[in-house]
Chain A
Amino acid sequence: DTGVSQDPRHKITKRGQNVTFRCDPISEHNRLYWYRQTLGQGPEFLTYFQNEAQLEKSRLLSDRFSAERPKGSFSTLEIQRTEQGDSAMYLCASSWGLNQPQHFGDGTRLSIL
């Protein structure tokens, strides 16, 4: 069990640029989640996959955000035309079944200049 892996750990970019993050879940986990966390707040749910199907997306999530999990293994989260407010820690988590603990990766810290 190598844990949930996220890449990159840090990303600094200029406003208006596109960014893409990658998440590799624990290998036997079929459920994958993306969260966003800002300072002093708990993680905020963004979207959820079961295998390759994206089953739920937060209503608060802008259309600039898109996520994929093409083969039901790793996932990518893309943010287009980044804005200052996108600066946050982006966390990925995975679990192997319903009602099972979600295990988090170390996150990607995004800073928008």
Chain B
Amino acid sequence: GQNIDQPTEMTATEGAIVQINCTYQTSGFNGLFWYQQHAGEAPTFLSYNVLDGLEEKGRFSSFLSRSKGYSYLLLKELQMKDSASYLCAPGSGAGSYQLTFGKGTKLSVIP
């Protein structure tokens, strides 16, 4: 089975840095995705980690530790438009590559 845990809500100030943690237990782990979802909209792809370490992409970075079943998403220089839900999604299986999504972390950026 799959078990994904991430904080339900977080609040941060515009211009600051925020780290969203995700722990997971999954069989047949094969990489982890982070998605951003604004209210009423579809999830959009942010990052993908398959090996341990940090992946940096502009203001967003994602870290993975496979041995610990742990990942985090780091958002720098927060902007108001970053207010959204952030979904952690480990992938499993060699064939179907099924994603299992956590409930998401609702981030509120305040002035």
Which A residues contact B (CB, under 8 angstroms)? 31, 33, 35, 40-45, 48, 50, 55-56, 91, 95, 98-99, 101-107
With contacts A45-B100, A99-B31, A99-B50 known, is A105 near B87, CB below 8 A?
Answer: no
- Count chain B residues whose beta carbon lies closer than 8 angstroms to a beta carbon of A: 26
The residues of B that contact A33 with a CB separation of less than 8 Å are: 99
Interface string of B90-104 (1 = CB under 8 A from A): 010111111111111
A-B contact count (CB 8 A): 56
Contact of B101 among A42, A101, A106, A107 (CB under 8 A): A42
Which B residues contact A (CB, under 8 angstroms)? 4, 30-31, 33, 41-45, 48, 50, 87, 89, 91, 93-104
Contact of A42 among B87, B91, B97, B98 (CB under 8 A): B87
With contacts A42-B101, A42-B103, A48-B96 known, is A101 near B42, CB below 8 A?
Answer: no
Contact between B98 and A56, CB atoms less than 8 A apart: yes
The residues of A that contact B94 with a CB separation of less than 8 Å are: 98
Contact between B91 and A56, CB atoms less than 8 A apart: no
Question: How near does chain B come to A80, taking the closest CB pair, in angstroms?
Answer: 24
| Closest residue on chain A to residue B95 by CB atoms | A55
Contact between A101 and B96, CB atoms less than 8 A apart: no
